[in-house]
Structure 1
Amino acid sequence: MRVLVLTKPFGALPPEELAARLAQAGADGADLLVRDGQTVTPGTAWRTAETARALRGNGLELGLVSTDLTSADSEAERVIGHCAEAGVPLLRVGFYRYEAGADFAAGLDRARRDLAGLAELAGRHGVRLVLALHHGTLHPSAAHAVRLLAGRDDVLVHPDPGNQAKEGSEDWRLSLDTLGGLDRIGCVGVKNAVWEPGETQGSWHCRWQPLADGGVVPWPTILPGLAGLGYTGPLSLHVHHPADNPFAAVRRDLGYLRGLRSEPRITPLAR
């Protein structure tokens, strides 16, 4: 399992500096976020190839590009085209948001149509799409993702137990079984969170937590369990918690993650 690092915390660093710093931190590669204020933006998608070259020059890979794309428009054509030119194998689509009180069936149908258009566009360029399980969307869990992806086998899924903790939790083995097994998994997002009392009496809120400090997601069970099942795809480490030095935070979380990844003992799994 190679460990990619989501580049969100690093802002608009030049590609060479981003690549060098990630190598120093101990990453295997990058999950490049294409968004305004980042190294590569939708308007500078041509820099994807430049970033890929910088990463390769430092012994790293550009294993995943994460985007906010939700439909097959001109921006999607440009971003996906440049990803293809750079040899990017996987592209994470954006989030199809859930709107309480809106017509759920109509929203789901619209999301299916938009995703179908994106998948067809990506297919023409030879890039595989992945859909992240994410809070606040029509796809927060494996079951909801399967409903959105009904009839499609050209889009992989990006489980993310940390994201799922924002709305509760889902047994990671249940997620895999619901999705149909490891063949449907493109990447696994890695981060942790904690629930704590809110400012209003009786209220609670969920905040991001350094991976190395633990949290509500049982990574010491999940990582050996994935290895035991034969998962060899990428992990994407997300450092969303506040950090004065994001590269130091990445280095610390990477060290913890590598310890779990190399753990030879496989936790017995109940079926």
Structure 2
Amino acid sequence: MHVLVLTKPFGALPPGELAARLAEAGADGADLLVRDGQTVTPSTSRRLAKTVRALRANGLDPGLVSTDLTSADGEAERVIGHCAEAGVPLMRAGFYRYDAGLDHASELNRARRDFAGLAELAARHGVRLVLALHHGTLHPSAAHAVRLLAGADVLVHPDPGNQAKEGSEDWRLTLDVLGGPERVGCVGVKNAVWRPGEARGSWNCDWQPLADGGVVPWPTILPGLTDLGYTGPFSLHVHYPTDDPFAAVRRDLGYLRGLRSEPRITSSAR
């Protein structure tokens, strides 16, 4: 199991400190978020090379860069170019948000055009583009993602935790719809729990530590992915509140890797 850690909870740490602390926490690599307030921002994307060098110096894989890019504009040209120069193999595109107040067909067509342009730009630089399955978007599930991709030669980033925000999708159906594990660039790992809301009859889906369990059946999903031949990376996300995100990463990594040695939990649904 090759586990990257999304750098979102660590803010704007200097590259050397970020890399050293990720290595100390036990990560195999980084899912480096390029966003304002982070180690690398869209306006400082030149720092990607320095950050990647720091990761590699600490024995870490700069396996994925996650961005908010949704179209092939000047910012995308700059960020993707710096990913290529740094030797980053995969880049996650941004999110194409769903708005119930807008015409869905028109918004889907716009997103298709923008994504196709972004994928073409990435391909010119030799960087493989990845689209994440994410709640609140036009691509919350495999079926919706396939409609947006429209045959583009890119990879998909399933994330059962994200998908739990809008219900759930059988992880095997996700892979079947995408065309198998070879279409998967990375798998997001986190968990959530549904809790009663303040209003009568309402419910909220909140993030919680992976080690505390939740609605996503990781003890079933992990061996199942192995059986289907998935050999790509996982990206661990610490989205829940914590005073020490590195300690949270260490605990969740221990739990995740421990699942590989536990007796299998199988399902009779297939």
* TM-score over 0.5 (shorter chain): yes
Q: Which residue of 2 aligns with 1:245?
A: 244
Instruction: Write out per-residue CA displacement over residues 21-60 of structure 1, whole angstroms, 9 at most, x where no aligned residue.
Output: 0000000000000000000000110111111110110010
CA distance in 1, matches of 2:261, 2:41: 35
Distance apart, 1:135 and its partner CA = 0.3
Q: Distance in 2 between matches of 1:39 and 1:140?
A: 28
Matched, 1:157 2:149: no
CA positional deviation for 1:261: 3.3
Q: Is the 8 A contact 2:220 2:264 kept in 1?
A: no
Cα offset for 1:265?
A: 4.2
CA distance in 2, matches of 1:170, 1:267: 17
Q: In the alignment, is the contact (CA less than 8 A) between 1:225 and 1:266 conserved in 2? A: no
**Which position in structure 2 is the counterpart of 1:181?**
180
Equivalent residue, structure 1, for 2:92: 92
Q: Is 1:12 matched up with 2:42?
A: no
1:64-104 per-position Cα deviation (integer Å, ceiling 9, x unaligned): 00000000000000000000001000000000000002110
Q: How many residues align structurally?
A: 270
TM-score when normalising by structure 1: 0.97
**Against the structure 1 CA distance between its residues 195 and 268, is the aligned structure 2 distance closer, same or farther, given a 3 Å change threshold?**
closer
Counterpart in the other structure of 2:101: 101
- Tell me the equivalent position of 1:2: 2
Moved more, 170-179 or 260-269: 260-269
- Give 1:128's aligned amino acid: R
Which residue number corresponds to residue 43 of structure 1?
43
Instruction: Give me the identity figure in percent.
Output: 84
SS at match of 1:84: helix
Structure 1 distance, partners of 2:192, 2:43, is 33
Q: Which residue in 1 is equivalent to 2:121?
A: 121
Q: How does 1:150-229 map to 2 (within 5 A)?
A: 150-152=150-152, 154-229=153-228
AA aligned opposite 2:187:
V
Q: TM-score, normalised by structure 2?
A: 0.98
- Measured against aligned partners, the alpha-carbon deviations of 1:159-209 in whole angstroms (never above 9, x if no partner) come to 000000000000000000011101110000000000000011111010001
Query: Unaligned stretches of 5+ in structure 1?
Result: none
Aligned-residue Cα RMSD (Å) equals: 1.1
CA 1:18/1:145 → structure 2, altered by over 3 Å: closer, same or farther?
A: same
For 1:117 and 1:261, the matched residues in 2 are separated by: 39
d(CA) in 2 for partners of 1:35 and 1:25? 23
Counterpart contact for 1:224–1:263, Cα < 8 Å: no
- Partners of 1:144 and 1:260 in 2: CA distance: 30
Unaligned residue ranges in structure 2 (runs of 5+) = none
The answer (yes or no) to whether the contact 1:65–1:88 under 8 Å persists in 2 is yes
1:236 is matched with which residue?
A: 235
Structure 1 outlier segments of 4+, above 6 Å: none
